[in-house]
């Protein structure tokens, strides 16, 4: 694994990711505009809260304080950069953590928001970020935290064919030197 690749993810035509593959599969024209022509686009009111939500969960799992991230969200709301209620992120994070409290209390966190980068061929490389890997009952599991769904838990059918998680498995296994269940 090559973890020393260019971190300028938005401007690098040689960077591939699960999102890029999914975009191409869903809409080749959007892929062309976004990844090949690299047309500028601002972070949207959808992506910013999701990124801050992920940051809060990472901070929680790593035993860090979320106050600055919550404050950043509030500032974006009160300055008009986000048209959302300033207390929304704190509310959603608290409800999420309350919902998963029993699960998190019985899990041993092994990794959070871990970025992997690997050369594919020539200048092309793939980058992926594993949201979480944890151990419970002597089993290692990979978790991808989603913020774009109305439901907090996924059914077995939702994840059995999740290609993103399948892509993550060999990277987690290599990093942790364990078998992912």
Dump pLDDT digits (tens) for 91-104. 999 998 998 899 99
pLDDT digit string, tens, across residues 147-171: 654 555 566 676 666 778 888 999 9
In the numeric block, the tokens 């990093």 are attached to 175
For the beta carbon of residue 135, count every other beta carbon within 10 angstroms.
Answer: 15
Q: Which residues of 149-174 are buried (b: 16+ CB within 10 A; e: fewer)?
A: eeeeeeeeeeeeeeebbebbbebbee
Strand-strand pairing, 124-136 and 139-143: antiparallel
* Percent over 70 (pLDDT), the chain: 81
């Amino acid at each position: 694994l090559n973890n020393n690749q260019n971190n300028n993810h938005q401007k690098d035509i040689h960077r591939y990711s699960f999102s890029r593959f999914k975009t191409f599969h869903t809409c080749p024209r959007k892929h062309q505009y976004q990844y090949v022509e690299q047309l500028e686009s601002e972070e949207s009111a959808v992506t910013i809260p999701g990124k801050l939500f992920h940051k809060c969960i990472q901070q929680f799992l790593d035993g860090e304080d979320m106050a600055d991230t919550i404050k950043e969200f509030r500032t974006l709301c009160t300055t008009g950069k986000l048209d959302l209620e300033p207390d929304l992120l704190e509310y959603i994070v608290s409800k999420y953590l309350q919902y998963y409290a029993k699960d998190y209390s019985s899990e041993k966190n092994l990794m959070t928001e871990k970025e992997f980068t690997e050369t594919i061929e020539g200048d092309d490389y793939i980058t992926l970020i594993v949201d979480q890997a944890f151990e419970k009952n002597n089993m290692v599991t990979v978790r991808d935290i989603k913020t774009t769904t109305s439901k907090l838990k996924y059914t077995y059918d939702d994840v059995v064919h999740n290609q993103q998680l399948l892509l993550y498995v060999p990277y987690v296994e290599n990093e942790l030197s364990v078998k992912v269940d």
